[in-house]
Every structure is written in structure tokens, then in C-alpha cells.
Amino acid sequence: MLMNVAFCKYIVLISIIGLILAPSLSGVNAAELLSPHKQMASGIDAKNVKCKSSFVLMVRSTNGFAACVKPSTSEKLSNTGWGTIVKTAMEEPNEETSEQPESAEETQGNAIEVKIKDGVGTTENP
């Protein structure tokens, strides 16, 4: 009986530790992310507030509150003195803005030619 109680306490302790550590080990899910106001109310410093992806973290100059805004809005607010940008958005490159070769000549200029001679491969720039 005494061993069962100790074992149960051990299992409960492990479970509590797992529940505490699990959110910090997983990525931030946008659906689970609290608003900046709620994050600050729970004790998180304004500079450590987490924003949804593609949003910018700003801290308002007048009251020190955090705000998550779009990148275009952050520039406007920063220029008017509303607040300071703390963390910029980690925007994923989209297909339209990613650099792609414009012509066949540009593609060929970056090619490497591989020649096989006597079973040994050698590389040469064309």
C-alpha cells in the first residue's frame, strides 16, 4: 500500500512537469496564441510577447503596452512616433518575389559541367 502511494505521487509529479514543459517544447500555434494584452496580463514582458507569423511586435511609447501589427502598419506607426519596433516579422518568401533566373543565359552562367574520364569525375565551369 505504501509503495502504491509513493508510485502515484511520482506519476503525478512527472505528469505535472510534462504539462509545464510541453508548451515550451512545441512550436507556437497561431490558434493557441494569446493576444498581446493577455500575454502581458499573465506576466510576460512587452518585449517578450509572441506574435502570429508575419506580424511585427511593437511597444507603444506612451504606456509600454505590446501590439502585434502588420509590417506595413508598423512602418507607419514607427514613423509617427507611436511606438518602437521590437521584433520584425519572419515572412516566408513567396514565389513572386523569390529570385529566379530571367533568361536561359543567366541559368547557364551558373551551371557546372561534370565530365567522366576513366571512371573518375571531374568538374569544370563552362
DSSP character for 68? Answer: E
Q: Contact, 57 vs 86, CB < 8 A?
A: yes
SS3 assignment, position 126: coil
Mean pLDDT of successive 10-residue stretches along the chain, which has 126 residues: 67 67 53 88 94 92 95 94 88 43 51 63 52
Give the pLDDT score at 44: 94
Q: Contact, 79 vs 61, CB < 8 A?
A: no
Give the pLDDT score at 31: 60
Give the pLDDT score at 95: 42
Cα distances (Å, whole numbers) of residue 33 to 10, 37, 79, 85, 114: 31, 11, 28, 20, 50
Q: What is the pTM of this model?
A: 0.48
Domain ranges of the chain: 2-92
